[in-house]
Amino acid sequence: MKFSRRKAIIGGIVGGGFLGVGFWFARERDRVGSRALFAPKSGEAGLNGWVKISRDNTVVVAVPRAEMGQGVQTALAMLVAEEMEARWDQVRVEEPPEDGVYRNLDILIDGLPFSPEEAGTVVDTAHWFAGKLGGVLGVNATGGSTSVRDAWIPMRTAGAVARDLLLRAASRKASIPVADLIAVDGEVRQRSGARVATFGDLVDSIGDLAVRPPPPLKKPSEFKLIGTSPSRIDVPAKVMGTATFGIDVRLPGLLYAAVLNAPTFGGAANGFKLKNGGLPKGIEKIVIVPGGIAAIGASWWRANKLLEEEVEVQWQAGPEPKLDSASLWKRYEQLLENGDPALTRTSGRESASGKRQTLTATYRAPYLAHTPMEPMNCTARVVEQGAGKRSVDVWMPNQSSTLMRFAAAKAADVPQSDVTVHTTFLGGGFGRRAEVDLVRQAVGCALAMPGRPVQLLWSREQDIRHDTYRPMALARWRADFDVSGPAPALVGVAKRQVAQSPTDQFPARVIGLPAQGKPEGNAVENPPYAFPFYRLDAIVADGSVPVGFWRSVGHSHTAFFDESFVDELALALVKDPLAFRRELLAGKPRHLKVLDTVAKEAGWGTPLPVGSGRGLALRASFGSIVAQVAEVAVADGKTFRVTRVTCAIDCGPVVNPAIVRAQMESGIIYGLSAALYGEITLADGAVEQGNFPDYDAVRLAEAPTMAVHLVDSGASAIGGVGEPGTPPIAPAVANAIFAATGKRLRSLPLRLG
């Protein structure tokens, strides 16, 4: 392996983190938290920073991660309830206050540019420092399929600590030795089975009990709740219509703001004038906001109509006002040929002996928008407190309250301690709601209307045309074969890949850190296959198009490149795609078990109707291994339909099987929408697409039959499930199309005609 580039990255992490890490060692905070941290109300008792109980026997669990439909409220509460021995019907959840105890360490570690199978001093050092730095920074964020992974130990520990405290409280109250007590189904009992107290009975008995070291956690064989599928906590409110999403926020005196963003990337509004003179009835003010202009009034519809029809804006163009897709692809093609790699990675030994034959294939993936179903929105209120002080409240669906607080404080020029962020339900996130552009604009509007809350809402057209996109990417695979023998033998493979880097752009855009020119970590992970020789050259492209984290990030396009080419290798070697993968995975039993499971359940090798085909793809991402088999039917040689998808996943210990299956199905549909329809194109420096008619998604009637199989390999490390279902679907479908038609599609979206 070549580590020079990564050593530089590690040096940056270490150098930037030494001051903070020193503070961490001087005052290390465990992740259980104090009893007062979770802000117990009257009639409640805090057991630690994650759990409190009330006299009505309710167990309240702190869930610091955003619920965007992925089931995180349920999964995290299950971790606490399992160790605490709480009854599921007595559990509810609350958003905790901002505190470092609730930081997400795994999301920082997961962003490092290493493959999961890599080990050694450099990797271990990077992980160690990233974890310590994350502890100091205390970033509360939801993404990277890290929520359960990060919470697996601390939230179970919090449940165990709570159980121990309740047992000791019951012992003191009933004068029964702790050794004779157990916690069962939300109450403390004697080992004989007699009830001593419900959890709620002990609210007033906790107070002065000493803090003790956490007791041992349960063994998997002792789990009662983990591994089952209890009812989801978030579903009743959503079904009954009482759930509050960001767009549902209603406050006294609420005003609404519509936005018109600059037509070209990086543009801004220099000024404006009204075509018909003064402001019409119902419109309070027009203000310039970062990246555009906003109209504020009593009705969003009126404000939006005003911007579209009655305001002339003097726009300052962005840095590339004539940029179009065709010229951008040419730029990438030149970089693919001549660009200097930001990272080079090799494994195996390169051989020069024998007669050679070469196979090359070039693959393309376009920019993609996020298009969460809930339109982008943020509500802000700025209240002047006198003496030059002001307070800021923000209500919004977001994936990082820490980043929203940081951005709101800068926009309002106040300390972060004077900003309160209220995180609502999210109507989809996919990485888009970690961005701070909405909060900057909303606070700008609120500053113009002191004391009045302003709800900023983007139209779907503004959302699609002013997203932070999944990067477009270009890759060229090359394989060398030794053809001097009776059958060709694979000698080695190499890939050159060009893409912009969200890892570079996001911190620069959000918190002003300088770009390092490093590739996004998920886009440079090694394939799991034991190639005789492997080389990767990752080239980072510059550009004015903003790119960000999209569901499964770099895996979403590199899986298409890699798994499509593995099928092409199998064809060149005259081998079955499944059998060829099995050869290359001989030393990886977890991967093999997933692969064999999906093949068996999909009926790999059994006959299909004429005009149909099966395709296989496998991808390890976010700590999980997922394989999928897609079946397609090609009716007329010009159009195709995905009829069936079989999925197998090994995510280590399964917290909630129903949630895992739902997330696999969700990831398949999201990835399939991108594979069939997703494409953002540029003309004159702007995005051409504007709404679902020209940026479509899979509809219910065309959704394939799906079956998800959970694979237990005995692995102890827990993996993510929110994103790993997305990467394999595009290559599985492309490989199925080839099986059905003999036509190899190397560009996304997949089109036969």
pLDDT tens readout for residues 477-493: 999 999 999 999 999 99
Q: What are the strands, taking DSSP E only, across 25-177? A: 44-48, 51-54, 59-62, 91-94
Query: What's the rounded mean pLDDT across residues 197-208?
Result: 95
Q: What is the percent of the chain where pLDDT is above 90? A: 87
Least confident of 273-277, 645-649, 725-729, 742-746: 273-277
* CATH, domain range 31-104+139-240: 3.30.365.10
Kindly tell me if the per-residue pLDDT of 127 is higher than 70.
Answer: no
- pLDDT reading at 223 higher than 70: yes
Model confidence at 125, pLDDT cuts 50, 70, 90, reads low
Whole-angstrom Cα distance, residue 720 to residue 65? 14
Task: Name the 3-class secondary structure at 219.
Answer: coil
Percent over 70 (pLDDT), the chain: 92
Q: Where are the alpha helices (DSSP H) in 585-638?
A: 589-602
Beta strands 533-540 and 489-499, pairing class: parallel
Tokens of 649: 């996943």
Confidence of residue 109 (pLDDT cuts 50, 70, 90): low
pLDDT surpasses 90 at 126: no
The pLDDT tens digits for 135-159 are 555 689 999 999 999 999 999 999 9
Does residue 8 surpass a pLDDT of 50? Answer: no
Buried b / exposed e across 453-483, counting CB within 10 Å, b at 16+? bbbbbbbebbbbbbbbbbbbbbbbbbbbbbe
Q: What is the pLDDT of residue 19?
A: 34
Whole-angstrom CA distances from 174 to 177, 178, 188, 198, 204 are 9, 10, 11, 12, 13
**In sequence order, which residues have a C-beta less than 8 Å from that of residue 452 and are 6 or more positions away?**
253, 254, 255, 381, 446
Rounded to whole angstroms, how far apart are CA atoms 28 and 518?
31
Query: By the 8 A CB rule, do 159 and 84 touch?
Result: yes
H or E element that contains 188: strand 187-190
CA distance 104 to 151: 8
Asked if the model's pLDDT at residue 122 lies above 70, the reply is no
Distance CA 583, CA 182 (A): 51
118, pLDDT greater than 80: no
- Residue 132: band (very low, low, confident or very high) from pLDDT cuts 50, 70, 90: low
At 497 the three-state DSSP class reads: strand
Compute the average pLDDT of residues 620-647: 96
Categorize the per-residue pLDDT at 656 as very low, low, confident or very high, splitting at 50, 70 and 90. Answer: very high
| CATH architecture, domain defined by 247-318+376-457 | 2-Layer Sandwich (3.30)
Q: Whole-angstrom distance between the N-terminal and C-terminal Cα of the chain?
A: 42
Q: Which CATH architecture has domain 325-368+468-741?
A: 2-Layer Sandwich (3.30)
Give the CA-trace dihedral at 631, 634, 635, 640, to 10 degrees. Answer: 90
What are the pLDDT digits (tens) for 299-318? 999 999 999 999 999 999 99
What are the distances in angstroms from CA 90 to CA 58, 78, 231, 267? 5, 12, 12, 52
Cβ atoms of residues 539 and 338 within 8 Å = no
Which residues belong to CATH 3.30.365.10 in the chain? 31-104+139-240, 247-318+376-457, 325-368+468-741
Tokens encoding 288 = 């310039």
Averaged pLDDT score across all residues of the chain: 93
